């Protein structure tokens, strides 16, 4: 029988607490482990010393676990894809709790087939990711990061020229994915005097922004595209050379979604040829590896996919994650269940 470390629950008996299986610890568990330990017995597969497949097959605790806590990771090297193969090794599983917004690393279709609920971070990190999107956009337009380098390198003191930036007001911004994050980006940019339009899976009747079903049409009528949608088979590489060409030579791409939504190779080619004006990138196709070509571009701002990582957002994420687990174990409505195919 496999023995594995579990968290201890304060002065109580941890054996009386519901079991939550964790394949690899998400940041929110690392930061708030005491809070989780007060409520759940954490079954730490990563401390077993066994290959994952062997652990799942030989551990009675894993075989009887009904809840799985997981994380997509800043890069997939940080997390473990929740594939159909893993799901089928957990015969008692009833819920997968993701501490990230995106669930592209989870086989949601297989979960549905097996009757397993899937929940994500919900709205807990939307404000922070929206802030990051706006920050990247302003940085690209006003060349804030480039100006910082200019000063630090002594270029200002040497009276070297610095290129002009662009004002934010009156910019036409096309938001791709008008969900929790996209809506907040739109509200923030409206306050700056930007003109908002959007593309989403379907038109939202309650929204006054102009809807474009065709991405190239949206790009042609925009000065910038801000990507806030989820990654799935339909959105993978949907921002390609055709869309960028429609966006134009002064257009800006901001991506706070997933790296694979953008055809990175074609984006680099467009940047090199001057077919788009710049990019603010929070996500990349092969994280944490960033293409070398992007590192030397002054019109590109890079961020290590850390849009959700603020003190406040991780606190909120902890509450949502624990809330979903408690709702599941007490048979109450889940807080952020994925109801549609992503």
- Residues recognised as catalytic: 258, 287, 305
Give the contacts of 50 (CB within 8 A, at least 6 positions apart). Answer: 2, 58
Listing DSSP states for 268-333 in one string gives HHHHHHTSS-EEEES--TBTTB--HHHHT-TTEEE--S-TT-SHHHHHHHHHHHHHHHHHHHTT--
Q: For the chain, how big is the Rg over CA atoms in Å? A: 22
In degrees, to the nearest 5, what angle opens at C-alpha 236 toward C-alphas 231 and 240? 130
Task: Rounding to the nearest 10 degrees, give the CA dihedral for residues 288, 291, 296, 297.
Answer: -100
C-alpha atoms less than 13 angstroms from C-alpha of 295 in its C-beta half-sphere: 5
């Amino acid at each position: 029988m496999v023995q594995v470390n579990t968290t201890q629950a304060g002065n109580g008996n941890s054996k009386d607490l519901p079991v939550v299986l964790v394949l690899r610890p998400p940041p929110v568990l690392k930061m708030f482990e005491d809070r989780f330990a007060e409520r759940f017995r954490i079954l730490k597969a990563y401390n077993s010393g066994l290959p994952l497949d062997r652990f799942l097959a030989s551990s009675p605790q894993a075989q009887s676990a009904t809840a799985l806590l997981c994380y997509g990771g800043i890069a997939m090297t940080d997390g473990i894809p929740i594939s159909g193969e893993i799901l089928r090794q957990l015969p008692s599983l009833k819920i997968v709790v993701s501490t990230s917004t995106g669930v592209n690393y989870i086989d949601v279709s297989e979960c549905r087939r097996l009757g397993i609920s899937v929940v994500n971070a919900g709205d807990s990190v939307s404000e922070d990711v929206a802030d990051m999107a706006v920050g990247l956009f302003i940085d690209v337009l006003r060349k804030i990061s480039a100006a910082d380098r200019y000063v630090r390198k002594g270029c200002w003191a040497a009276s070297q020229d610095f290129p002009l930036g662009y004002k934010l007001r009156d910019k036409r911004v096309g938001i791709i994915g008008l969900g929790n994050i996209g809506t907040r980006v739109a509200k923030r940019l409206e306050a700056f005097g930007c003109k908002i339009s959007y593309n989403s899976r379907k038109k939202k009747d309650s929204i006054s922004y102009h809807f474009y079903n065709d991405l190239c049409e949206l790009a042609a009528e925009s000065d910038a595209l801000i990507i806030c949608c989820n990654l799935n088979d339909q959105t993978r590489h949907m921002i390609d050379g055709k869309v960028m060409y429609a966006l134009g030579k002064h257009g800006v791409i901001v991506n706070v979604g997933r790296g694979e939504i953008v055809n990175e190779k074609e984006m680099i080619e467009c940047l090199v040829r001057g077919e788009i004006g710049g990019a603010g990138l929070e996500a990349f196709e092969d994280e944490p590896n960033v293409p070398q070509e992007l590192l030397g571009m002054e019109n590109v701002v890079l961020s290590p996919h850390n849009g959700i990582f603020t003190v406040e957002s991780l606190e909120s994420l902890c509450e949502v994650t624990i809330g979903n687990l408690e709702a599941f174990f007490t048979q109450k409505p889940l807080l952020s269940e994925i109801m549609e195919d992503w």
